[in-house]
Chain A
Amino acid sequence: MTSVYLEGVQMKRESKSFIDSLYAILTAADLFSGPKYMLSGLSGMAFKFSVHEQLWFMSVSAYGEWGTVHQPAVDNLGLFTSYDGGRNRHPTFRYYQQDAVQWIKASLDQGIGVIYWIPEFGVIHGYDDEDEIFWVQNGVNAGSQVVLYDNLGINSTPFWYVQMVGGKVEVPVEVAILEAIRMAIDDWDTDHILSNASVATGRMAYTFLIRALNLESFDEKGAVYILRSYQYSRSEIRDFLQEACLHLGGLQEALSSYDQLNEIVVPVQTYMIMQDGHRKIDRRRIPELVEILIQATALEEEAMRVFRHISSQYPDPIRSTVPRWGKHTPR
């Protein structure tokens, strides 16, 4: 084919940009049915919580090495996936870029959109060989942006990333839920991402967030984004657990923790004020906000205790086998 434009792909920013992208391409291709919070929960992505010490805007997507995180996330949905990415200054970049142009087009020919780092994550939902362009949605602006084949992967960050999905096998929902809560525990227990000790994850992310707020030393835009994303994902977790309770025993107590957590974090938006046309954290209310976050940490710690108890009742071949992939220093 010389051009494809997938009308059915409609990305909408609500969750993490990766989940919004994944949801858009999967629902358009009939590879996932169900609400977005189930996708976010089952992939383990809802639980990801990462915070840069200065509350930079990038925190929300800096939950780990993407390939290492996204591969198991998509795998847990029973989907085939393949990705490429890296530093766009490496000498082999041009080759991988042109190779990606080919496999992205092949995926679009099959009617499946592709996840693409703009930044943040968005979807490629069409191409045109005549103009040598891709159509890209970011979920915020209406309509699509254009990316030239030869500019694929070149952006304001030093890295590029593209991920496609393919065939599907059925994974019993209780199996997927069990793996999702194990991914949640992994994230909770990991202090910081490998490539940058300034970005904390899980339990430590709360510590970083609270510290930056207390010191009143943080990026304004980033702080607002982190808190809004945090609040949204915690509501996703609650909704996910509500359904998960129907399939896997023992989750009721964790649901109750997340219910309470949601009650206290829903008003987080009211701790922000509009100033010079921008939303900012209301500095006078930081002590209250910090108090909420301290309570939230304890509630989430309690939920993790429940997850651990459930997890210990079933064998875990994935975590009891040392892998031959996964964590590595970017080189």
Chain B
Amino acid sequence: MKTHILEGLHMKSESMSYIDALHAIVDYQGWNKKSKAMLSGMTVTGFRFTVNRNLFEESSTAYNWMAENLLAADFIGITASQQAGFSFSATFPLYQAYAVQSMKDSIDQQRGSIIWKDQFVIVTGYDDEQQSLYYSDGNMPGLQRLSYAEFGRNDAPYWYFQVLEEQIELDEIGIYQESLMQAIYKWETHDPMLPSSEYACGRAAYEAMIVALESGVYDHVGVQRVIQDYAASKRDIGIYMSQLSRQWTELHPASLHYQYVSDNFEKMALVVQELNFENHLAVRIKSVEEELTQHLMKAAYHEELAVQALKEYMQERVVNRAQDIGLR
């Protein structure tokens, strides 16, 4: 019977994504002292832009966690073990026991882990007497308790855990170049895991948001969350690109366009924050929808130009890898 809590390991919600969790652990381990904005770009996480066509709250987390969170770590040279599944599966209890044991072992090696607890959070300790894990979710101060038996039982039927293991030295320039390759790919490609009738990705996500706002058919709670989550991503990417353009002046045009994207999302985030669907008159809602649409159109325009600029800059690589994005 043992209790072990990693002192000083906390998560802070800022990037509104997996990056908040990853950064907490990477920073605590001292593997990487980069800012969240830099991690967001280097891991490609911030370049992801996927929406549910009804603008449901889940939008920014509707992606392939197994594939993309492993890659996120891989891109920065961090190795990981992870598993995921449906909590209604007959085999779930086997996985639950394995996950808890893996996370406890990880804590004993002074490393936190990442789990899905209705959002990505970090596990920072455990208490065998209480049969519980402790986690930090970035919103509530201090730690929260999650019994071993409750691990993986979430609002949606998904369970997930990721244990981060070691750091491998990678060439930093290679990481940046790879992130730009992947950014282009993300902008142009639909996530094959998601039915395209319900979800849109990259360039198409802008169009889907505009269609939803113009038709008025969308989730009123979700829209606020979607815009806030992506405002954080776009802000991170704006900062990331401006950092990179200091190193490579050729990236300056792309960086400027990403800055405009970020600015427009910031304005949208302020607009939706003020919005109250229950109390506002229809005419007021309509005008807000129009305002959001205007910002979205501007952002879409600039992001398109930003990616075109990246493609020009990366031309040779893009051509070489047109058939196989995995060639790295």
Contact = CB atoms under 8 A, between A and B. Distances in A.
Given A169-B90, A331-B182, A324 B64 contact: yes
Interface stretch (B5-13, B80-88, B260-268, B302-310): B80-88
B79 A99 contact: yes
Interface residues of B, number: 49
Given A78-B90, A317-B157, A331-B182, A326 B166 contact: no
Residues of A in contact with B, size category: 20 to 34
B207 interface: no
A317 B88 contact: yes
A95 interface: yes
B77 interface: yes
A322 B194 contact: yes
Contacts of B98: 80, 82, 166
A167 B166 contact: no
B160 interface: yes
B105 interface: no
A328 interface: yes
B71 A331 contact: yes
Given A95-B79, A95-B168, A78 B91 contact: yes
B300 to A, nearest CB: 23
Contact of B67 (A91, A166, A168, A325): A325
A330 B326 contact: yes
Interface centre among B62, B91, B199 (most CB of A within 10 A): B91
Nearest to A81: B91
B2 interface: no
A87 interface: yes
A170 B94 CA distance: 11
Interface in A38-75: 75
B195 A322 contact: yes
B65 interface: yes
18 contacts: A91-B168, A92-B74, A92-B77, A94-B168, A95-B165, A95-B166, A167-B94, A167-B97, A321-B86, A321-B157, A322-B62, A322-B195, A324-B158, A325-B64, A328-B68, A330-B324, A330-B326, A331-B67
Closest 8 CB pairs of A and B: A328-B67, A325-B66, A80-B94, A330-B326, A327-B192, A324-B65, A95-B79, A167-B94
Interface of A: 75, 78-80, 82, 87, 90-92, 94-96, 99, 166-171, 175, 194, 317-318, 321-331
